Homo-oligomer: A and B are copies of this chain.
């Protein structure tokens, strides 16, 4: 029987301090790393039932269940819960906010212990392996040495891939949904325009907007509106909005009029409340630079892993399209890695990984069985 999780709470834990700093791939270090995370289900006595969930660009630790007083359930609540594909009756699920984020885990707006003020642009550039290093510390802190699976969509899937590269023996299964091992030039182009919008906003204040008491909301809204078009598909926009307007006939305006415009306005506006511009800059940039197969150590690590991969892509996804999953499948198979890849039909574009297109949840459930 499939049910839903009840109330859940976000926990916090310090995973790096001055005695045990996080040394970063880019050369810097973080002397204080705090992580926000949630867990669902119970760790088995054998500690062999842990599934780690990695979130996408603008996600957070609250993947499933309900926060006290909140109306909206976690962002992957349809996938995670009792009797669901990621079955909390069976698995112990760990879901953190990622390093560089803005929902409880250390990021650019956190206080730099060296100065007592927010890092802002002094926050170091993050590599995928830095995010995974924090995940590994969290798993260890929770008493988990070996993972039954790591599951992630989009940027989340890339963390799962990096995890196998960094620790080829730690995962039994890696489930990557709508992910990529290397962004296209067009992917980078769109992200670059979003960053331009944010950094050229006068209220960006050279990245120190928090200390000025302002936020680059105009630019951040534009960046999100544009990115949102990337997350859906042309056909889903057409089906949902077509040419419907709020005004009529020749009553034309330069202001938003078509329903699709009001929808984007809403998407841009709500994003301002829940996400920080600096985290957006750092995490989109991390995605641009992600290119693990350019790293000489990757092939050796993957050759010896016994982690089984499941890749899922969606035919209408033009953010990280199926060709990117196909390329990654080939890269992995060339190294002898076992990969089960499928492209599923879904009209919802990249956002399909958060929804329930036919065959998707069944596929994940089967791989975890």
Which residue numbers of A lie inside 8 Å of B, CB to CB?
25-27, 121, 125, 127, 182, 184-186, 188-190, 192-193, 195-197, 199-202, 218-219, 221-222, 225-226, 229, 234, 237-238, 240-243, 250, 252-254, 256, 258, 260-261, 264-265, 268, 281-282, 285, 288-289, 291
Contact = CB atoms under 8 A, between A and B. Distances in A.
Contact of A241 (B185, B195, B250): B185
Interface of A is mostly: helix
A137 B127 CA distance: 61
Contacts of A221: 196, 200
Nearest to A294: B243
Contacts of A222: 193, 196-197, 200, 219, 222
Residue of A26, A197, A201, A225 contacting most chain B CB atoms (<10 Å): A197
Contacts of A199: 254
Contact of A192 (B182, B190, B258, B282): B258
Q: Which 4 A-B pairs have the closest CB atoms?
A: A185-B237, A200-B218, A125-B252, A186-B234
A237 B189 contact: yes
A238 B218 CA distance: 30
A192 B260 contact: yes
B242 A185 contact: yes
A161 to B, nearest CB: 17
Contacts of A192: 225, 256, 258, 260-261, 264
Nearest to A203: B202
Copies in the complex: 2
Given A202-B202, A226-B226, A250-B27, A234 B193 contact: no
A126 to B, nearest CB: 9
Given A200-B218, A256-B192, A243 B285 contact: no
Nearest to A217: B200
Given A196-B264, A226-B226, 10 more contacts: A125-B252, A125-B253, A185-B234, A186-B229, A188-B243, A188-B260, A189-B260, A192-B258, A196-B268, A202-B218
Contacts of A241: 185
Nearest to A195: B254
Contacts of A254: 121, 125, 195, 199, 281-282, 285
Contacts of A237: 184-186, 189
A180 to B, nearest CB: 12
A44 B225 CA distance: 52
Contacts of A218: 200-202
A199 to B, nearest CB: 7
Nearest to A251: B26
Given A237-B186, A242-B185, A261-B188, A289 B252 contact: yes
A285 to B, nearest CB: 6
A179 to B, nearest CB: 17
Contacts of A196: 221-222, 225, 264-265, 268
A261 to B, nearest CB: 4
